[in-house]
Amino acid sequence: MNAAIDAAVALLLISAAVGVIVTGGGAPASATDPGRADAVADALAATTATVNHSIAPGVAEPNRSTAGTGRGSGDGIPELHRTTHGSLAGLLARAATASSGVARGTGPPEEPLTRTRVGFRRAVADAVRARTGAFVRIDAVWQPYPDAPVVGRVGVGPDPPGDAVHAATLTIPTGVEPIPAAATVTFEALGRAVAARTVEVLVPQGAAQVTLRGGGSEAALVAHRYARLAAATNASVAAPLATEDTAAANARVAEALGARMATDLRSRYDHPGQAVEAVSVSSVRIVVRTWGDPTEGA
């Protein structure tokens, strides 16, 4: 695997395998035992898996393959086949961030920036489902703060019943630094800090730069991701991307998104110090819910 492909993998699948925090403990295996949710959470953190998947082109027509070949799409860019290894919790976190969407205006977040990760999310869900059993629901969610204009999520398992449900939570770092104290003085500073970290998760500028310089299918995918981000935030990135200046491109997107986030945070919280307590841009939250067989005793 060459450097450009490595960079594309690093870009589209963020590393989230360290710093797993599990709330709760114990490891009973019974489906009706309250500790089963903790046991499943422990298993997600400790169990590793290898998933095989492909990165669909996603530039012009993300979900349509070239007729009769099963490879590539109408734009002539071939599929990129991948094998990804990691903890189940880390894979879930990667799937959540990979499926992130950005809202246009004041509406809710739209569909994922690109649909290249559909196969990865499906493969991760299958791997998790095979190792967690029945009567389990797992939701991995990444959002910079509650009801933010950016969110990524992936769910595995059926919806739980309305009662007799037990839960446990893991948090997986996204790889970006926490918000510094200096950014909590004003909503403008906080919005800029949250936006910069959000954009770094969506398009890590170092990996993006290497990929763009490598050219080929991987570069086209990165350029497409930037184009979708620019459209969602009304940022202009054409000039910096022409010279592979991803730091400048990210800064432009973050500036536009930061202004929106500052206004959003100001409308929700009384002061920046209160708002920063709700910021979760540095982690993916995984919630495990378990319950017993509803047909037992019927």
- Domain range for 70 is 3-290
DSSP sequence for 15-49: ---S--EEES------TT-TTHHHHHHHHHHH-EE
Give the pLDDT of residue 105: 65
Does residue 38 lie in a domain region? yes
| Beta carbons of 207 and 10 less than 8 angstroms apart | yes
| Beta carbons of 7 and 210 less than 8 angstroms apart | yes
Tokens linked to 30: 């019974």
CB atoms within 10 A of CB 43: 18
Give the pLDDT of residue 78: 57
Does residue 298 lie in a domain region? no
Does residue 295 lie in a domain region? no
Does residue 283 lie in a domain region? yes
Looking at the DSSP assignment, which residues form a beta bridge with residue 139? 155, 287
Cα distances from 289 to residues 16, 47, 264, in angstroms, run 21, 18, 31
Give the pLDDT of residue 15: 35
| Beta carbons of 235 and 196 less than 8 angstroms apart | no
Within 8 A by CB and 6+ apart from 32, the residues are 291, 292, 293, 296
Within 8 A by CB and 6+ apart from 285, the residues are 140, 141, 142, 169, 170, 171
Tokens linked to 160: 């739980």
Does residue 158 lie in a domain region? yes
Measured torsion, CA atoms of residues 158, 159, 164, 169, in degrees rounded to the nearest 10: 90
Tens of each residue's pLDDT in the chain, 298 residues:
333 333 433 444 433 333 343 444 333 445 567 789 999 999 999 999 999 888 765 444 333 333 333 333 334 445 677 888 999 999 999 999 988 999 876 666 667 887 767 888 999 999 999 999 889 999 999 999 999 999 999 999 999 998 889 999 999 999 999 999 889 999 999 999 999 999 999 999 999 999 999 988 888 889 989 999 999 999 999 999 999 999 999 999 999 999 999 999 999 999 999 999 999 999 999 999 999 887 765 5
Domain count, the chain: 1
Across 157-191, b (16+ Cβ under 10 Å) vs e yields beebeeeeebbbebbbbbbbeebeeebbeebbbbb
Q: How far apart are CA 241 and CA 236, in angstroms?
A: 10
φ, ψ dihedrals at 122, nearest 5°: -65, -40
φ, ψ dihedrals at 171, nearest 5°: -125, 135
CB atoms within 10 A of CB 7: 23
Tokens linked to 226: 């930037």
Give the pLDDT of residue 166: 95
